[in-house]
A and B are shown apart, each in its own frame.
Chain A
Amino acid sequence: MALLELKDIARRFQLGDTTVNALSDLNLRIDAGDYVAVMGPSGSGKSTLLNLLGLLDRPSAGSYLLEGRDVTTLSPDALAGVRSTRIGFVFQSFHLVPRLTAAENIALPMTLAGIPAAERRQRVRQALGDFGLENRADHRPDQLSGGQRQRVAIARATIMQPALILADEPTGNLDRHTGDEVVRLLEELNGRGVTLIVVTHDPSLGARARRQLRMEDGRLQSDSAQRPGAIAEIAPRPGGSVAA
C-alpha cells in the first residue's frame, strides 16, 4: 500500500508581481518502507516538496493522501497532530534547542504530545542506548560534536515512532566519516520498516537510496522507479547525468 500519494500537486509563490512555480504537475506515489532520495540543483523545488510532504506547507493545487487520508484539507492543529505522530524531521543544521540537554531534546516531541514523564524517561533511555549517546544525556548541544548532534536529532525524529522520516541534507554539515555514520543510522531505521526520504545534493548519498527522484524547475524530471516509457514524455533521457 502506498504510504503517500501526490496528485497534480502545484505550489506557487507570489514574489511581488511575478508568480513563481516552485512545484507543478507533480504526481508521486511512495510505498511504505521505501528509501527515496530527492536530488536536483538548488531552486529545483526539493525543499518545497519536502515541506509539503512534511505538512509544513500546503499545495496551491492538487491532493496529498497520507496513509490513505487527504491531508490537504486538515486544520493547522490537525496537521500538527499528524506531524507529531507520523512524521520525523532531520535537518541539515540539526535544529536542536540550545538550552535543553540531549535527553531533553530527544524527549521534546513526547513532551509536546503530552506523554507522561515516566514513559518519556524510559523511552529516552532506550533511545540514548540505541544511538550510542548514553554518556551524553546531560550534555547541551554546544558540548556535543556534529555527529553526536545529528544522532540526537535522529533520536528525536524517531522517538514518536513515525511512519515517515524526512531528512533534509542530513550530512550537509558533517565530515565524510561522521556523515557515513549518520547515513548508516538512517538506513538501519529504514531497515526496520520506516519510510525514509532524503533530500541531498550529494550524488553518492543519493545513489545509496533504493529509488531516486530528480527534480528540475519544480518538476519531477526522472524517477528511477518509473517505467522508462512514462518518463520519456517528460524527460527524453531517463537516468540522465546529474544536473547539478
Chain B
Amino acid sequence: MRFPDILRFARDAATGYPLRTALSVLAMSIGVAAVVILTALGDGARRYVIGQFSSLGSNLVIVLPGRSGTGGFNPANAITSTPRDLTIDDAAALLRGSAIQRVAPLVVGSSEISAGGRLREVMVAGTTASYFAIRNFALAQGSALPEEDWGRGSSVAVIGHKIGQEIFGSNSAIGQWVRIGDRRLRVIGVLKPLGQGLGMNTDELVIIPVALAQALFNSNTLFRILVEAKSRSAISGARQQASDILKQRHRGEEDVTVITQDAVLATFDKLLGALTLGVAGIAAISLAVAGILVMNVMLVAVTQRTSEIGLLKALGASGRTIRLAFLAEAAMLSAVGALLGYLLGQLGAFALRQLFPVFPAYPPDWAVIAGLATALATGLLFGFMPARRAAQMDPVQALMSH
C-alpha cells in the first residue's frame, strides 16, 4: 500500500467514527495545552522575577554589613550585632576601585511625612545623587538629589509619584515644604510612576540625602552600599575590589558581605527553572493519560472493525499494511490532538498575558517541542499494541465476526 493511500485510509477510518475520534483528540489536546499553559506560567514567573531584579539596575554589586557565607538572609545576622558599622566614608572609599563606576550608600527606614495637615507613613531612603543613575530612576518633575558632599545633607527630598498625589493632589509638589520626622524638607523632585519594584514600592518612597537620613534615624551604619561596575565583565573585579577596600578599612577583618546581582539572579533562575520543569512533569502525566486513551480508542477501533480487518486480509493486505494503517490512525489522532492542544495552549497563554500584562506568560520553546514530541511518541507507542493485534488477527475468525 502506498504511503498517501495509507494516510487517506487512516483519515477516513478516523472520521468514520467522529465521536470516538473527537474524544481522543480532545484528550490529547488537553494534555498538550496543559503542558504549554503550565510551563508558560512557570517560565512567566521566572521571567517576572528576573525582570524585577534587573530593574534594580545593571552591573550591580551590593555590599551589606555583616558576614554571611551564602549571601542570602542569615538568621544569625538578626541576632548578632555587626562588629563594625558600614559608614558613608566606607562607601566613598569604594570609588577608588578601578572597576567601579558609581557608588550609592543607602539608609532605609520608615517615618511619617506630613504637609498641609495630611500625614502618612512612608519608606524613607537616604542616599546620594548617584542612586538615581544606578537605579535608572526617572523624574516626572523637578530634579534629583544634588551632587554634594555626602556628609552634608541639605534639607531636600525627592518623593514618589503616589506620595506626591496623596499629599499635594493636583498641585505641583516642587518647592513645597514637607515635614519628615522632625525635619522640614523642601521637595525638589517627583519620581515617574514605576510601580512595584522588588521589596520597595518606588511610588511610595521618599528619597533624602544620606547624612540627613542617618541623623533622622539616629544611626551611623548604612543599610547597603550599591556599587555599579564599569561593565558587565567588570562585575567580578568590582566585587573583589569592594571586598578588598573594605577589608583594608576594617583592619583586615572581613565583616561585610559583597554579593553580585548575577549570583542572586542565578539562584532565582535555577529555582524557578526547576519549578517550571516540575510543572511540566506534572503536565506530562496528562499526556501519558491521553496516550493511554488513544490506545484504548485504538483497541476499541480494532474490535469494532474486526470484520473489516478480515476483509482487508482476504483482499490481500499484508500484516505490515494493516499495522501501518492502524499506526497511522493513532499517529493522526495524536498529531491533530497535539496541534490543537498547541493552539489551545498558546491561546490560553495569550489570554493570561492579556489578563495580567505584567506577567510574561510565554511558554518556553523546549516545553512546546517536548510537549508535541511526547504527544506524538505516546500516540505511536500506545498505537503499536492495537495495530499489532489487528495485524495478527486470524482472517477466518475476523471475517466471521460480522
A residues bordering B, Cβ < 8 Å? 51, 54, 56-57, 76-77, 80-85, 89, 91, 93, 95, 97-100, 108-109, 111-114, 116-117, 156, 160
Contacts and interface: CB of A to CB of B under 8 A. Distances in A.
A100 B402 CA distance: 17
Q: Is the interface of B mostly helix, strand, loop or mixed?
A: helix
A80 B318 contact: yes
A22 to B, nearest CB: 11
A153 to B, nearest CB: 10
Contact of B396 (A57, A112, A114): A57
Contacts of A54: 314
B317 interface: yes
Interface in B1-25: 1-2, 5, 9, 12-13, 15-16
Contacts, number: 70
B13 A80 contact: no
25 contacts: A54-B314, A56-B314, A56-B396, A57-B395, A57-B396, A80-B313, A80-B316, A80-B317, A80-B319, A83-B314, A83-B315, A85-B316, A91-B399, A95-B307, A97-B308, A99-B13, A100-B12, A108-B312, A109-B315, A111-B9, A112-B312, A112-B315, A114-B2, A114-B5, A116-B2
A80 B321 CA distance: 11
A77 B319 contact: yes
A81 B316 contact: yes
A162 B274 CA distance: 65
B316 A56 contact: no
B311 interface: yes
Given A56-B399, A99-B12, A112 B321 contact: yes
List the 4 closest pairs (A to B, CB-CB), nearest first.
A84-B316, A99-B16, A83-B316, A77-B318
Interface residues of B, number: 25
B338 to A, nearest CB: 24
Interface of B: 1-2, 5, 9, 12-13, 15-16, 307-308, 311-321, 395-396, 399, 402
B292 to A, nearest CB: 26
Given A80-B318, A85-B316, A56 B395 contact: yes
Contacts of A112: 1, 312, 315-317, 321
Contacts of A111: 1-2, 5, 9
A97 B15 CA distance: 14
Contact of A95 (B1, B5, B15, B399): B399
A164 B347 CA distance: 59
B315 A156 contact: yes
Nearest to B6: A111
B316 to A, nearest CB: 2
Contacts of B402: 93, 95
A97 B311 contact: yes
A84 B315 contact: yes
Contacts of B311: 95, 97
Nearest to B3: A114
B316 A76 contact: no
A91 B9 CA distance: 22
Contact of A160 (B316, B317, B318, B319): B316
Nearest to B311: A95
Contacts of B321: 112
B89 to A, nearest CB: 88
A45 to B, nearest CB: 13
